Structure 1
Amino acid sequence: MHSTDTTDDAALFAACVGAPAVVVAMPEEAEPFLQLASRRCEHPQLVGNASFHALELAGRAVLLVRTGIGLVNAASALTAAVERFEPGVVVSAGSCGGLRADVNVGDLVVGTEFRYADADATAFGYAPGQVPGMPEAYPASADLVTAASRLVAGGNGTVWRGTMLSGGSFVTAENVGGARGTFPEALSTDMESTALAQVCQAHGRKFLAVRSISDLCGPAADQQFHLELDLVARLSADAVVELLSTLPAPAHQG
């Protein structure tokens, strides 16, 4: 249970300068981090559509950023967080859709690279998913991927490592064939992570995504196709908190 002494918001937010930032899209994805915090601010900072929460998690300061759904909301909120708090590490958390046929709901996906699902400038010689003038893919921090190598999924879930997609459209059973055909290696899809990875690359920040699969874009007949968002959000949050506990604290927090 978090402390009831949440009056010193200024000190809590000051401690978040240089601390890791955990980024989620929805309130349901933020809630487990708020529940797991030993201390948290009383009044979050509101920036556009986003909210910033100063927390103490795993014995360290963490900035929780709730962006709202979508690529633009994600990019604008994280840019504001980088400018205000200069996080050295950014982790995308929450839910995602299972894309590859062998993943299942409740599985954990650790992203190693991030691509846009619905960017198409192939008529001009660009790769599928590549925005003109930008990389084909955005890599995760190798250090963070290594740090996440010991993560386990809750329940009977599997931990996958590989490509995650993001786009402005939901992938459904009706259109999943196109995404699988274009990106056969992709494990999952969401609407924020690649935009976050792009912002981190532009600002020189280490980035990783650790998300849990809440639904399958094209389930097989014998697969469970959906898991409640609150359950999935807690699976992701538990894994992210475990990851944060293994990272060295910033110098001013040591």
Structure 2
Amino acid sequence: MNEPKVDKAHADIGLVCALPMEIQPFMDRCEHVKKYTGGSYVFRGGFLDRIKVAVVQTGVGFARARAATQALIDAHSPPWVLSVGFSGALKAEMKNGDIVVATSVCDLHGQELQNDVHFPEDPEHGLYVGRIINTDEIVRTVDEKLKLAEQYDALAVDLESLAVAQVCQAAQKGFMAIRAISDDCSVDLPPEIISILGETGAVRAGAALGAVFKRPESVKEMWKMRGDASRAATRLASFLDGVVVQLYEARH
């Protein structure tokens, strides 16, 4: 009798992120991690215990996230896809490293997708549940963030989650957006961030050097931003560990 065929490409959980540092602490928890390039996207695969995860690194922005999510689904057919990574806080009380789980994702153009998740909110321990908004470019200033919060009743802002949600809806895949706060509402992000961060998520060295020459104090600001992002990625990895296990066990 023939043995049943095993689809080695199939993944139990797919994760979509823009930047490598957003997902690296989570990948450090996985075993047998392999990396490959497909088109203009970087893929990683590995095992969290017995759970096979596939990750695509999209680069920055809506269009890239949409195409990369479709590529992930085509290659690995995961039943669940998670939009993960950093986000900006839209509420003054939120802190760096806090986690936001989306109940809906909207944008500035009137699009919104609801997400029927049932996570117990626990702000005291840094877990928020509610709306995430997508913008067309990085929201850099505290003033812009507070205006978005008031206008859209949103907790956090990112650039990619709605794109991932739309592809998952069309493909009839389970979807969650889980984001870690990497910049709170205490200070503006340095203006150089937009020019330094290329669309693929790679830091543009020339732009970074130019920024330092033009405004030397930007070095201190960017080091702080990197430290905040590193702590957010570590907290995100810990939270994702539990979510991935729960989603897998619910299916099995």
**TM-score range relative to shorter protein:** 0.7 to 0.9
Q: How does 1:129-208 map to 2 (within 5 A)?
A: 130=110, 136-140=111-115, 142=116, 145-146=117-118, 148-149=119-120, 157-171=125-139, 172-183=141-152, 185-208=153-176
Equivalent-residue separation in structure 2 for 1:95 and 1:210 (angstroms): 9
**Cα distance per residue 1:63-119 (max 9 Å; x no partner):** 111111111111110011111211110111221100123322221101110001x32
- Alignment partner of 1:215 is 2:183: yes
TM-score, with length taken from structure 2: 0.74
* Structure 1 residues 38 and 105: alpha-carbon distance in aligned structure 2, compared to 1, 3 A threshold: same
SS state at 2:91 partner:
coil
* Structure 1 residues 157 and 95: alpha-carbon distance in aligned structure 2, compared to 1, 3 A threshold: farther
CA contact (8 A) 2:180 2:236 kept: yes
Shift of residue 170 of structure 1?
Answer: 1.8
Equivalent-residue separation in structure 2 for 1:18 and 1:34 (angstroms): 15
User: 2:96 — aligned with what?
Assistant: 105
Q: State the percentage of identical aligned residues.
A: 26
Gaps of 5+ in 1: 1-12, 120-129, 131-135
SS state at 1:175 partner:
helix
- Alignment partner of 1:26 is 2:19: yes
- Alignment partner of 1:74 is 2:42: no
- Alignment partner of 1:88 is 2:55: no
Could you tell me which amino acid in structure 1 is paired with residue 235 of structure 2?
Answer: L
Shift of residue 191 of structure 1?
Answer: 1.0
Shift of residue 234 of structure 1?
Answer: 1.4
Equivalent-residue separation in structure 2 for 1:237 and 1:14 (angstroms): 27
Structure with greater helix percent = 2
* Structure 1 residues 45 and 66: alpha-carbon distance in aligned structure 2, compared to 1, 3 A threshold: same
State how many pairs are aligned: 209
